[in-house]
Structure 1
Amino acid sequence: MELVIRGVFMYLFLMVIVRVMGKRTMAQASTFDFVLLLTISQVTQQALVGMDYSLTGAVILIIVFVAVNVIFSVIKGKWPFFSKMMEGTSLILVDNGKMLPIRMKHSQVAEDDIMLAARSTHGLERVEEIKYAVLEKDGTISIIPYKSES
């Protein structure tokens, strides 16, 4: 039973940590982020199994993680508020060619990140060419350019 409690606790704890880290951290992981993720996984493994290195313990933990994940999926499907709380919502960062610095700072998105997305998806060179830039729930930036008058 201790393994089940450890598994549920670590799942919830890691979900909160990933949520606090922010969307951009997950979408554009740097080398430092990758090293941090590896370190967290090693510490998590030690916290989960303690001194139990048995195959049975590993199977129990895997079943607990899958079960908790399925339960959260069902809850998110039934209550949109819970889904919004756990996954967040999309956020407009550029509105009609004007950057929204407070939102960008809160989301840890730099102007360079937006312009990179604008150049790579639409070949845009200036922020004034962007009608909307949206930080999606998965951490990517969607660019909606002004319609060209051709």
Structure 2
Amino acid sequence: MGIVLRAAAAYWILLLAVRLIGRRTASQMAPFDLIVLFLFGGSAITSVLGTDHSLTAAYTAICTIGIMHIFVSWAKARSIRVEHLIDGTPVVIFEKGQWHERRMRWLRLQEQDVLAACRQRGLRGMHQVRYAIAERDGKVSIIEAIEGDSDVEREASAQ
């Protein structure tokens, strides 16, 4: 029973830690980010299994973590609050020519991350962007400015 409780606790602790780390996807992670995640997993498994290195203990821990994941998925499907707590919500980080610097600091995003998303869309610069949104999975979505979009043109000319 101890392995089940430790595995369940490790699941929740790791879930919280990953939420606190931020929204970067695996493709955007620096090597340091990956090292931290592997260390989290290694530390958790050591604390879950303790001195019991049997196949039964490992299987019990894996099943417990799987059940915890199913439970969280079930809870997210039934409650928008739980979904927002676990997965977060999209955050607008650039809007009509203005950076939301406070939100970017909170998400630990840099302008270069957004500019890279622009280049991937084939855009030359932020003057072609109406909105940049940090999605729940860590990717940056770009909403292009429409030609003749007076709000964006006005903001760009003011800068």
TM-score by length of 2: 0.88
Q: Distance in 1 between matches of 2:27 and 2:139?
A: 6
Which range moved further: 95-104 or 51-60? Answer: 95-104
Residues of 2 paired with 1:88 and 1:56: CA distance? Answer: 35
Letter in 2 for 1:18: V
**1:25 deviation in Å?**
6.5
Q: Distance in 2 between matches of 1:40 and 1:73?
A: 22
Deviation sequence 1:72-115 (CA, Å, 0-9, x none): 11111111111111111000011112211111111111111101
Residue 15 of structure 1: aligned partner: 15
CA RMSD of aligned residues (A): 1.4
Q: What's the TM-score, normalizing by structure 1?
A: 0.93
Structure 1 alignment gaps of length 5 or more: none
Percent identity, aligned pairs only, is 28
4+ aligned runs moved over 3 Å, structure 1: none
Distance in 2 between residues matched to 1:25 and 1:142, nearest whole Å: 13
- 1:65 Cα offset (Å): 0.7
Counterparts in 2 of 1:1-150, with a 5 A limit?
1-24=1-24, 28-121=28-121, 123-148=122-147
Which sections of structure 2, spanning at least 5 residues, go unmatched?
A: 149-159
SS of 2:29's equivalent? coil
Do the aligned partners of 1:27 and 1:140 also contact (CA within 8 Å) in 2? Answer: no
Does the residue aligned with 1:114 lie in a helix, a strand or coil? helix
State how far apart, in whole Å, the 1-side matches of 2:27 and 2:138 are: 5
What is the rounded CA distance, in whole Å, between the counterparts of 1:8 and 1:26 in structure 2? 24
Does the CA-based 8 Å contact 2:14-2:40 persist in structure 1? no
Equivalent AA in structure 2 for residue 79 of structure 1? S
TM-aligned CA deviation for residue 26 of structure 1: 5.3
